Structure 1
Amino acid sequence: MEFRNLADLNITGLLSVFNLSFSDYLVPFHLTLEQLTSKINAEKIDMNLSVGAFQSNQIVGFILHAEKVEDRKRIVYNAGTGVTPEYRGQGLVRKMYDYIIPMLRDRKTDILALEVIEGNEPAIRAYTNLGFKISRKLLCFKGNIETKETSSEINVQQLDHFQWKTFKSFWDIEPSWQSSVIVLDQMRNDLVILGAYEMTELVGYAIFNPAIGKVYQVAVNKENRRMGIGAKLFKVIGEMSAGSVVVMNNVDDSSENTSQFLRKIGLENWVSQFEMANNINIES
């Protein structure tokens, strides 16, 4: 068995092993070449920091990594780990980490982060044994939006750019990687940014991809909550989605008000994940 980074791997070869690895996952899914390419670009996956396990020059396992520097911390995010069914039970995930972690330490990486589905006990045990600890629980919601009459004093309009300084002032919790600023900036052309205004003041916003029915972020100014602003934003999202199912993933379960609100408008928590982190540079 050989381990090396994925800089020279053809994306078609990665697609094949990716789909085979996730074909019997707890939540099975299948990507097209276009979708995998979009994932790599949007999530800023770096093939030089990603690693594969190769048997006779054939890839049979992988870890896809992305990187960002935030608050003077270098964070490497596991955007996907897979091992084909035939090669499971051989400790390949640990071996791939054993291969790549020294290189990440050389880059002064502080934290490794990932998400794992609640109930995937083998994966949770494997990551725990590697030094990862659960940092928070993330809830994934989906359903058809059901909103009642909303405040006529709130005007929702599309914005032409992200207003991150204002948006962040509305946050109670930090978005997960796939809904983070660094990722959404890459996806700008696919997204609709909705701003909710009271008179001329921006008091709430939502970021939505109408092509796939996915809400990435929604937040309301702390002083303007319980005024129907979130409902107004989701009413517009519901109209844009034309009755199709809407998804909002990775809602921090510590935000009970958000979870209650999403259930109230018709979405259900259909699966949950744990965010896990491993500080690999504790000596610094």
Structure 2
Amino acid sequence: MLFKKLSECQITDIITAWNRGFEGYFVKLEMSAELFFARLVNEGLSMNLSIVAFDGDKPVAIVLNGVRLIDGKKTAWNGGTGVASEYRGKGVSKLLMEETLRIYAEEGVEVATLEAIKENERAIRLYQRYGYEIVDSLVHLNGSEEFESVLAASIWVKSIRPEQLATLSFYKENVPWQCQWQSVRNGEAQIFYGTGNDPLGYCLFKRIWNEHGKVEKVVIYQLELFSEVNSDLLKIIFASICGGAEKTVNFMTVNASISSPIIAYLMSHGFNKMTEQVQMVKFL
């Protein structure tokens, strides 16, 4: 088995390795070249740290990797490990893990992270054999709400760029990779303040617009509140992040901790669980 960096591969081989590696996966992950490379850029994945495995001249497996400084530690994220169906169960995944951990050591990575679909027990066992531990359960929720314009004299909202979140003392930096501001540069952020200019919380999100210029969907990457969750506050926040649209808007949370009181509240108010993943960490 020969490993090549993505930067050393032909585009067609990279896309073949990805699409064949995720055939029959729990969720549909097939991508065109345009979508694949847009994801690399948007999520800060590295062409030099990601690898494709070849059997002869045939691309048969892939691992995507990115590295960032999180809470002062050099942190890596495995953004996808896929093996072509006829090569599964033949030790290729172990070779991929060993090569990936070798790359991490070479790069001076201190913390390795990844997420795995909860039902993917084989992959979870593999990661555990290589020292990863489950630290949290993460969910994607989907739901819709109809909001009227909400006025609250005691609460005001400040809109900022996602990049500005990193300058705030209360910003939560150590969250799943796709929920960090660096992965949502083309999104939006809002801070919510109460009386006395005390911060009540913040939200990192992205609005999806339809062809009529209306907000159709809002994807929530982080929603942090510094006080008890209550219906009135959430109504104000949801109305604000959907732009005060006076119609039904679809909302989706991405990789939110299932232990979050906000998630518990949303699930009790009709939001549905789409996917559940385990978050795994290995300290090098």
Structure 1 and Structure 2 fold alike (TM over 0.5): yes
In structure 2, the residue matched to 1:220 is: 225
The match for 1:79 is: 79
Q: Find 1:247's aligned residue among 252, 261, 272.
A: 252
1:208 maps onto 2:205 in alignment: yes
Rounded Cα–Cα distance in structure 2 between residues aligned with 1:228 and 1:174: 28
CA deviation string 1:233-268 (max 9, x = no partner):
21234455964532112111232x111222245422
SS in 1 for 2:8: coil
Paired position in structure 2 for 1:6: 6
Unaligned runs of 5+ in 1: none
- Specify the alignment match of 1:274 in structure 2: 278
Specify the alignment match of 1:53 in structure 2. 53
Aligned 8 A contact 1:219 1:230 in 2? no
1:70–1:232 distance in 2 versus 1, CA, 3 Å = same
1:127 aligns to 2:127 (yes or no):
yes
Q: Distance in 2 between matches of 1:277 and 1:241?
A: 42
Aligned residues of 2:52 and 2:61 also touching (Cα < 8 A)? yes
Gaps of 5+ in 2: 209-216
The match for 1:193 among 189, 194, 198 is: 189
1:262 is matched with 266
Following TM superposition, the consecutive aligned residue runs of length 4 or more in structure 1 with deviations greater than 4 angstroms are: 146-151, 165-168, 238-242
The percentage of counterpart residues that share the same residue type is 24
Shift of 1:78: 0.1
- Structure 2 CA distance for aligned equivalents of residues 6 and 31 of structure 1: 16
C-alpha displacement of 1:177: 0.6
For residues 16 and 250 of structure 1, the distance between their equivalents in structure 2, rounded to whole angstroms, comes to 27
Measured against aligned partners, the alpha-carbon deviations of 1:140-174 in whole angstroms (never above 9, x if no partner) come to: 21121355885622344543564425755165x94
Q: Is 2:148–2:246's contact at 8 Å kept on the other side of the alignment?
A: no
**Cα gap change, 1:118 to 1:155, in 2 (>3 Å):** same
Q: Secondary structure at the match of 2:27?
A: coil
SS at match of 1:144: strand
Following TM superposition, by how much is the alpha carbon of 1:42 offset from its aligned partner in structure 2, in angstroms?
Answer: 1.6
Superposed displacement of residue 100, structure 1: 3.3
CA distance in 1, matches of 2:91, 2:246: 43
Measured on the aligned residues, the alpha-carbon RMSD in Å equals: 2.8
Letter in 2 for 1:277: V
In the TM superposition, residue 40 of structure 1 has moved relative to its aligned partner by 0.3
Cα distance between partner residues in 1 of 2:178 and 2:268: 25
Task: Tell me the equivalent position of 1:164.
Answer: 165
TM-score (norm 2): 0.83
1:164-198 deviations in Å (ceiling 9; x for gaps): 25755165x942110113323xx2xx212233344
* Paired AA for residue 281 in structure 2: A
Secondary structure in structure 1 of the residue aligned to 2:256: strand
Q: Kindly tell me: are residues 226 and 245 of structure 1, through their superposed partners in 2, closer, same or farther at Cα, counting changes over 3 Å? A: closer
Query: Could you state the TM-score of these two structures normalised by the residue count of structure 1?
Result: 0.83
**Corresponding letter in the other structure for 2:223:** V
Cα distance in structure 2, aligned partners of 1:170 and 1:109: 23
Q: Residues 118 and 277 of structure 2 are in contact (CA less than 8 Å); yes or no, is this contact kept in structure 1? A: yes
User: How far did 1:105 drift?
Assistant: 1.3
